[in-house]
Amino acid sequence: MAADVHKKKSWEVPNGSLAPGDGQHAERSESPTPGLAQGTEPGAGQEGAMFVHTRSYEDLTSPEDGAAAARSPEERRGEPAEQSSMEQISKDFSELSTQLTGMALDLDEEMRAGKEGKLEPSPQTARRDSVLSGKEEEDVTMDAWRSHRKHVFVLSEAGKPVYSRYGSEEALSSTMGVMMALVSFLEAEKNAIRSIHADGYKVVFVRRSPLVLVAVARTRQSEQEIAHELLYIYYQILSLLTWTQLNHIFQQKQNYDLRRLLAGSERITDNLLDLMAHDPSFLMGAVRCLPLAASVRDAVSSSLQQAKAKSLVFSILLSGNQLVSLVRKKDQFLHPIDLHLLFNLISSSSSFREGEAWTPICLPKFNSSGFFHAHISYLEQEMDLCLLLVSTDREDFFTVSDCKRRFQERLRRRGVQHALHEALRTPFYSVAQVGIPDLRHFIYKSKSSGLFTSPEIEAPYVQEEEKERLLGLYQYLHSRAHNSSRPLKNIYFTGPRENLLAWVTNAFELYVCYSPLGTKAGAINAVNKLMKWIRKEEDRLFILTPQTY
């Protein structure tokens, strides 16, 4: 069974995954212009980074991870190679705008046509209810089931159902069978990503032996992005079982029913899928910080740093899905994906609100072969501050629990609790603070720190589908900027509803949304102003002085 990390002597794990894999910081100095050298951009840590250096989502799909994004020949043929990128983008965008509007209309129609006269307001409601009652699984023959925008299935290579986002896996067995046939038809090599486009749907397959993950999506995401989400699901499963245990199980018994082991944790996966549809953290492959005065954050970090124990590797304080502070063992870097999985774990269960939880957890990007033990607790009732202490020793509960007590005591002594409470009352800032009239929203990521900042999403993106549309636009920009065959570093698009700009350099990524009234010159002007503002505010929006034990 899975080896506990703590059993291994010191930190030498066979696959060496404890050391950040991809030579970070090496390219810092040689980063060319435009813009800023990596490590000097706004938000870059002054004493190095907290995270494993990643190149956003390529890290998930990169060849060293065993995957290669490959597109079907049909699709490649259908793409006129001569067409200039900007033309293509502008075409895509107008399509995207209308498609997304069209999507809303389609939903309207289905709502009227649907047997029960309603469509689920949000996909998670269905599962929540079914978890609580244990009875109301969705009927897979229902129209509502077919109308979900993104289905996700996980199956074993032997074709056994492991997870299905909507409806019971049992009822889907036949569907799964068809998928398995498709998978074996589509692929020759392991760890491949394949996709089929048909009838307004994209079907994306990701094979990570011994599992196969499938998404059937009507969203406008690229297959790379859908594959990226599927890989998150894969890592989510690893975080519960470890890669070692997963493989061991299927080596022992090829047609093992993994649902037995995963029972009770489906909602963690459900929650992850919902979160990815709303939170840009996953798209950016980066972590957002709670805006907080640097002096307060430093006091919090020092308190965390002082409340250490021998077995602690990471001490993390978070609020919602924003990071307040992270202190790590020297030379140990967390991967943003692992932190996202921790965020998701915490947001998916109210059980952490009471008492102190002590749970085994694998951080698959850090070390996929062993479990850590996480102490999870909220600092105070009715306050959204969750403390996560990650230890290597499963016997160490009381020591780690005492670290929490010591941390709270230090916080009190430093007298920063009030300031912390205040900051929690406004966990998001308004874009109006930047003072650029046409500016509606933006996402700025500092590559060297792995942190990003983004204001609250405000009018006109009030409705849930409008918010999702905005995220969809960012997703599109992102996929164009990271397209493996034709990456574009600068994109500007004027549309009927908004103007958009993307700017990707070695040091940062910036995605901006403007009102449709502005000009290109105005937009570029605004970017300069925005960058200055971010620089001015960086010690509040980012963690510039990360600490280690």
Chain residues in the site for other proteins (CB under 8 A): 1, 131-132, 134, 240-241, 260-265, 267-268, 345, 348-352, 354-361, 371, 374, 394-395, 397, 401
Q: Structure tokens of 208?
A: 């990570």
Residue type, 419: A
Q: Using the minimum distance from each CB to other proteins, give the nearer residue, 133 or 485.
A: 133
CB 377 → other proteins: shortest distance, Å?
Answer: 9
SS3 state at 68: strand
Give backbone dihedrals phi and psi of 266, rounded to 5 degrees, phi first: -55, -40
CB 282 → other proteins: shortest distance, Å?
Answer: 21
Q: Using the minimum distance from each CB to other proteins, give the nearer residue, 218 or 394.
A: 394
Q: How many CB atoms lie within 10 A of CB 380?
A: 10
CB 364 → other proteins: shortest distance, Å?
Answer: 15
Task: Decide if 361 contacts 239 (C-beta within 8 A).
Answer: yes
CB 273 → other proteins: shortest distance, Å?
Answer: 17
Q: Using the minimum distance from each CB to other proteins, give the nearer residue, 49 or 361.
A: 361
Q: Using the minimum distance from each CB to other proteins, give the nearer residue, 70 or 262.
A: 262
CB 495 → other proteins: shortest distance, Å?
Answer: 41
Write the DSSP string, 174-200: HHHHHHHHHHHHH-SSTTEEEEEEETT
Q: Using the minimum distance from each CB to other proteins, give the nearer residue, 17 or 348.
A: 348
CB 391 → other proteins: shortest distance, Å?
Answer: 13
Task: Decide if 400 contacts 280 (C-beta within 8 A).
Answer: no
Angle subtended at Cα 452 by Cα 449 and Cα 453, rounded to the nearest 5 degrees: 140
Residues 165, 120: Cα–Cα separation, whole Å: 14
Q: Nearest to residue 259, comparing CAs of 340, 185, 201, 172? A: 172
Q: Using the minimum distance from each CB to other proteins, give the nearer residue, 311 or 348.
A: 348
Residues 220, 226: Cα–Cα separation, whole Å: 10
Q: Using the minimum distance from each CB to other proteins, give the nearer residue, 246 or 290.
A: 246
Residues 400, 512: Cα–Cα separation, whole Å: 43
The region, left, alpha or beta by phi > 0 then psi within -120 to 50, assigned to residue 189 is: beta
CB 351 → other proteins: shortest distance, Å?
Answer: 5
CB 263 → other proteins: shortest distance, Å?
Answer: 6
Give backbone dihedrals phi and psi of 85, rounded to 5 degrees, phi first: -60, -45
Write the DSSP string, 422-489: HHHH--S--GGGG--TTEEEEEEEETTTTEEE-----TT--SHHHHHHHHHHHHHHHHHHT-SSS--S
Q: Using the minimum distance from each CB to other proteins, give the nearer residue, 226 or 237.
A: 237
